[in-house]
Amino acid sequence: MRPLWRRGIAASLAIGMDLALGDPPNRYHPVAWMGRAIGWAQARAPQEGRLMPFAYGAAIVGCGALAVGALGRALALVAGVAPGSLGLLLEAALLKSALGLRGLERAAHEIATALSAGDLPEARRLASWHLVSRDTSTLDEARVAAAAIESVAENTSDGILGPLLYYALGGLPGALAYRYVNTCDSMLGYRDAAREWLGKAPARLDDLLNLIPARLTAFLLTLAARLTGEDAAGARRIRQRDARTTASPNAGHPMSAMAGALGVELEKVGYYRLGAGQRPPRARDIARAIRLMRIATALGAAGLLLLGWASRRAEKRR
C-alpha cells in the first residue's frame, strides 16, 4: 500500500479527475458492475423463512466485499509497479471510480434548474430517477428541493468522504470494498417483504462502516458553513437536536447539519423532520448545498494531504 502522503496526492488527483470527467457510461463503471453482480445474486435468493435469506444476504455482502477488496489489492499492485508518476495517476483513476462528486452535483443541479423554471413534474421525475427511492409523484416544490438537499448531504458521506476515508485507511481495497457494501445496502437494505431479512446483514454492515464517515461529514459541512458565511452555529444546533430522529443511525448527522447550515426544514413525510420550524427549502438552496458539499470535500482532501505531509516528515526524522 502506498505511503499516506502519496495516498493524499492520489486522492486529490481522483477528486480533480471526477470533477473534470464525471462518471463513465454504466457499462464501464465499476460501481455499476457491482450493482449488476448484486442484482444477479438477489434474483437467486431464497424467499422462505428468515434464516436462509439472512445467511444468503450476509454471504452476498461479506463474500462480495472480500472479492472486491482482493481485486482492489491486485489493481493497487499493478499501479504500484507502473513507472514514476504513471502509477500514481493510475491509482487516482481507479480511486475516482469509487467517487460520486460530479454525478451528484449534476443531478442536484438538474433538479434545481427544473424547479427554477417552474417545471415541477420534471423536477419530480429527476429526483426519482437520480437521487431518491421514495415516491416523488405528489411532492410539492419544497419537498422536492428537500429531497435533493438531503441526497447531497447524505451522499457527501456515502459517495465522497466515506470512500476517501477508507482509501486513507486501507488503500484501494478499502475504498472499493466500502463502495461495494454501500451499493449492497442501497439495493438490499429495505424492509419490504422480499428484502426484510435478505438485506439485514448488508444494512447493519453499512451502518457500522458509516459511523465515522457520517459524523466526519457533518463536522466538515459545519466547518464549510463557517468558511462560506452559512449558519455554522445552526448546523451544530440542529444536528445536536435532530441527528438521531432518523431511522438510520448515520444519515441524520450530515442531513441535519445541512438543514441547520442552510436554515431550512428537510422533511420526509411520515419519517422525519430535520430543522423543524425553519423555512421550507427552495430551488436556490440546492446550489447552496452543492457549494457546502464542494467545500467539505476540499477540506477532507486537504486533511488527508496534511496527514500525509506530517507522516512523511515523521518518516524523514527516523
72: amino acid identity, one letter: G
Query: Based on the structure, what is the number of domains in the chain?
Result: 1
pLDDT surpassing 80 at residue 84: no
Q: Are 173 and 165 in contact (CB under 8 A)?
A: no
How far apart are alpha carbons 57 and 43 in whole angstroms? 12
Poorest-pLDDT segment among 72-81, 171-180, 220-229, 256-265: 72-81
Of the candidates 55, 67, 85, the residue with the CA atom closest to the CA atom of residue 30: 67
43-48 long-range contacts, CB within 8 A, separation 24+: 45/198, 47/194
Q: Please check whether residue 78 is in contact with residue 90, taking contact to mean a CB–CB distance below 8 angstroms.
A: yes
The model's pTM is 0.94
Domain residues for 189?
Answer: 4-317
* Cell numbers found for residue 69: 477488496
pLDDT, tens digit (0-9, with 9 covering 90-100), for 182-206: 999 999 999 888 899 999 999 999 9
Q: Quick one: pLDDT band at residue 283, thresholds 50, 70, 90?
A: very high
Which is nearest to 297 in space by CA: 101, 158, 147?
101
pLDDT tier at 175, thresholds 50, 70, 90: very high
CA distance 22 to 7: 21
88 pLDDT tier (thresholds 50, 70, 90): very high
Looking from the CA of 87 toward its CB, the CA atoms found within 13 Å total: 15
Evaluate if residue 38 carries a pLDDT over 80: yes
Q: Residue 28 — pLDDT band, cuts 50, 70, 90?
A: confident
